[in-house]
Amino acid sequence: MRIALGVEYAGTHFCGWQFQPHAPSIQGCVEAALSKVAHHPVTVICAGRTDTGVHALAQVIHMDVTAQRSPRSWVLGANANLSKDISILWAQPVDEGFHARFSASARHYRYIILNRPTRPALLAKQVTWEHRPLNVEKMQVAANYLIGTHDFSSYRALACQAKNPIRTLSSLTVSRVDEQVIIEISANAFLHHMVRNIAGVLMTIGCGEQLPLWAKTVLESRNRTQGGVTAPASGLYLCGVDYPSPYIFPKQSIL
């Protein structure tokens, strides 16, 4: 039986989603918890592998199990064996054609910047702090250059292993809510560090170090060394994953 599950987590104390033998990972903790409920080893596949320190409001995973459990039992049983940094939100049987990663049609991320002169205390690991005033209007002008289908070589990590750098950004918006500047970005898929590199370029433009056209110049260079600083992981959240019919999963509230 194949089961899809929704996962929420704070990535601060983990080496990222993917299992690592030398450090705690989200995948390792989730597999250990679900294995206890199933009474046999469980391997899970995720929609998007998040990096060290990155959070998720609506990660989607799937697993193949022989154990018969109700959706409620999978959720409550797993959460009883997970730390408070990780929570299984829902579980739902799916057919064998479903794949958490390859069936996904779009992914949505949110990047949160606390834009004020003083550093955060309570939100230190949940947002990125920028003390310089950010011009949201200029950031949005820059963001508009990146919407559409492009070669995003300049916006991916040098160590990115993806064979094809072409991605389609369907939406990229920048807004301000009081002291927070929020970047919302949606695409069919993302390259390694792509969202954080885009955020880094937009922040550089927002604080006045570069003009909005620089975002386009970086894009067209197809050279990562032209792209500036990678923004910190602490402000990044995987907010949702879209799937085609008939895969309809619960929508999670967004910060």
- Looking at the domain assignment, is residue 250 inside a domain? no
- Looking at the domain assignment, is residue 253 inside a domain? no
- Looking at the domain assignment, is residue 248 inside a domain? no
Distance, CA of 212 to CA of 223 (rounded, Å): 18
So what's the pLDDT on residue 253? 66
Q: Where residue 184 sits, what CATH number does that domain have?
A: 3.30.70.660
Statement to judge: residues 83 and 115 lie in one domain: no
Instruction: List all residues 6 or more positions away from 214 whose beta carbon is below 8 Å from its beta carbon.
Output: 142, 201, 204, 205
Tokens of 83: 């730390």
Query: For the whole model, what pTM was predicted?
Result: 0.94
**Using CB atoms within 10 A of its CB, is residue 242 exposed (0-12), middle (13-18) or buried (19+)?**
middle
Q: 108-127 pLDDT, tens per residue? A: 999 999 999 999 999 999 99
Domain that holds residue 89: 2-103
109 labelled ligand-binding: yes
Q: 126-164 pLDDT, tens per residue? A: 999 999 999 999 999 999 999 999 999 999 988 888 889
pLDDT of residue 254 exceeding 80, the answer is no
In the listed set 52, 71, 103, which residue is the last one of a domain according to the structure? 103
Active site residue 178: no
pLDDT of residue 66 exceeding 70, the answer is yes
Question: Is 193 in contact with 157 (CB distance < 8 Å)?
Answer: yes
Distance, CA of 41 to CA of 31 (rounded, Å): 8
Q: 160-171 pLDDT, tens per residue? A: 888 899 999 999
Catalytic: which of 51, 64, 178, 242? Answer: 51
- Looking at the domain assignment, is residue 254 inside a domain? no
Statement to judge: residues 220 and 187 lie in one domain: yes
| DSSP-derived secondary structure letter, 99 | -
Distance, CA of 89 to CA of 85 (rounded, Å): 13
In the listed set 103, 130, 152, which residue is the last one of a domain according to the structure? 103
